[in-house]
Amino acid sequence: MDAASNLITAGEFFVVIAGELVLLFVGITFLVGLLQAYIPEERIRSVLAGRRQGVGNVIGAGFGALTPFCSCSTIPILLGLLDIGVPFGICMSFLLASPLLNPVILALLVALVGIVPTAVYAALTFTAAVVLGALLGRLGYARYVKDVMVEGRPEPCGCNSSHGTRIHAAFSFAVSLFRQVFPYLLLGAGIGAFIYGFIPGDLIVSLAGPDNPLAIPVAAVIGIPMYIRAETLIPVSAVLLEKGMGIGAVMALIIGGAGASIPEVTLLAAIFERRLLAAFVAAILGAAVLAGVAFQALAVI
């Protein structure tokens, strides 16, 4: 494929991905705004903020697992949770679990590797989200969250507030937040498009093939810029397995791509300072490597 064809492919990918991310981000942010307008903050705090560290992290990870969104769509929800005072560690458990355990990915994994491996994957990633979220909270990483101001954030509405007032407040919230993160969204889509159009798949296989003792950590690192979406998870993973990549490396690739994709990391850069952002990426990579090793060990047995 020549440079012109690669450029066209990358351009098409950028237009599609950027468009999808814009729609998803605005749509999800608007829904979060509606929730904040209709559901009293005290009720949300009673579910998450009032929990002890361990129990709260389990609930936060469970809440994340029940949200069928891509990784980028979890950012508005994360901001909403932080904004109403939910403890930082619990929010991180939600952030870690949401892209890795959403029902779409789990359903595709069942089709790809079967029920038992998917159950192992779910158990490993859920445990990682709970433990890592609690650890980041205990280590005081909450101080590295930027003060992101959302001017349009809906104020608590009384019972007599009209539906139109609440919808307008939710829309203002979505627009205000979108303006702050839009440059990061475009940057992430551009980087992902370049890799999609110009980095051959054979190169990835050669770097993380079965003969490479570092296949699993290399696959975890490669997964981040690949930005594996749920719709492409089955064909990409099936091709890699068919070409000889080990199941452990494939799982590490999936976790790295779904858990810390370039679009998500660039969006998080708008609200996380560098130290926290590095800790988040390191947590995803660690979980990806450990899960990959576990899967590879199970495949040998």
pLDDT over threshold 90, residue 180: no
User: Mean pLDDT throughout 7-28?
Assistant: 76
User: Mean pLDDT throughout 204-209?
Assistant: 67
User: Mean pLDDT throughout 253-278?
Assistant: 84
- CB-based contacts of 24, cutoff 8 Å, min separation 6: 69, 70, 72, 73
> Residue 152: what pLDDT?
47
- CB-based contacts of 276, cutoff 8 Å, min separation 6: 136, 141, 144, 145
Highest mean pLDDT among 121-135, 194-208, 234-248, 250-264: 121-135
Q: Side chain identity at 38, as an amino acid letter?
A: Y
> Residue 234: what pLDDT?
58
* Residues 22-46 pLDDT 10s: 777 777 677 767 766 776 555 655 6
Contact 68, 103 (CB under 8 A): yes
* Residues 83-94 pLDDT 10s: 777 889 999 999
> Residue 126: what pLDDT?
95
User: Mean pLDDT throughout 285-295?
Assistant: 89
User: Mean pLDDT throughout 237-254?
Assistant: 76
> In terms of pLDDT, which residue wins out, 138 or 253?
138
